[in-house]
Amino acid sequence: MDAEVINKLIDTAYIYTPANAVVNIVLAFILGMIISYIYRVTHRSMSYSQSFVLTIIYVTVITSSVIMIIGNSLARAFALVGALSIIRFRTVVKDTKDTAFIFLGLAVGMATGTNNYFLSIFTTLFLCIVIFVLYKLKYGILGGSEFILRFYMDRNKNENEFLPILKRMSKSLNLLHMEPTGDDETIFLTYDISLKGEIEAKEIIREMSKIEGITEIVLVSSKSDIDY
């Protein structure tokens, strides 16, 4: 009787053949590479990190392995949850879109780990196509040619010396920040501007540079979510 119980435990502990496990892990790695590549291509913000790209691949492969380890054993599932509960993750995800890529890696890893090859491949390809198409269509962006303009201006200068130029070259113009500098002789200004379709960024730099008393002009693209 004891031998039969032991044999049943052994049978349930190894529900994947070595060949099956290799296929699952290799497929998870390939799909994880595809997901990470799409992330690299479609990433817009300035918070790009190589470690996050690698994490997408790692999560996909590890999830596939974990699912195979758990198998159909409820005891192993609870044991794994208890073991992972001691880990504390304190990394803050700056871009909310990054979370979606992590969940995609988890879902694909779970699909490959449970031998759902069609589901894992279709999910990866379909979502990657959706992500790429939305990226090309610039879906969700409020407007084009949006920039953050920063410069220093002498205190004795009047805003009327540069505002007409900015209004002439931009569709919208908003003052975001005004701060006196430490030398008490200049003021640091930050504007959010949206240039007109025919105006290039270098033109506004050239025009602003002609104004005496305005220095250190910086124009930063804000088509993505950028902290300033």
Task: Specify the long-range contacts of residues 47-51, CB closer than 8 Å, at least 24 apart.
Answer: 47/94, 47/95
Nearby residues of 21 by Cβ (< 8 Å), 6 or more positions away: 68
| Inside any domain, residue 39 | yes
Write down which residue in 94, 115, 137 finishes a domain. 137
pLDDT digits 0-9 by tens, 176-203: 888 887 777 788 888 888 877 777 777 8
Q: What is the pLDDT of residues 40-94, one digit of tens each?
A: 988 877 677 888 899 999 999 998 988 888 877 777 677 666 666 665 666 666 7
Cα(200)–Cα(205) distance, rounded to whole angstroms?
A: 9
What is the number of structural domains in the chain? 2
* Whether residue 130 sits in one domain with residue 42: yes
In a domain, 226, yes or no: no
Q: Is the whole-model pTM more than 0.85?
A: no
**Does residue 201 sit within a domain?**
yes
Burial class (CB in 10 A: 0-12, 13-18, 19+), 61: buried
Q: Are residues 49 and 118 in the same domain?
A: yes
Please give the torsion angle defined by the CA atoms of residues 190, 192, 195 and 200, in that order, rounded to the nearest 10 degrees. 40
Domain CATH code at residue 204: 3.30.70.60
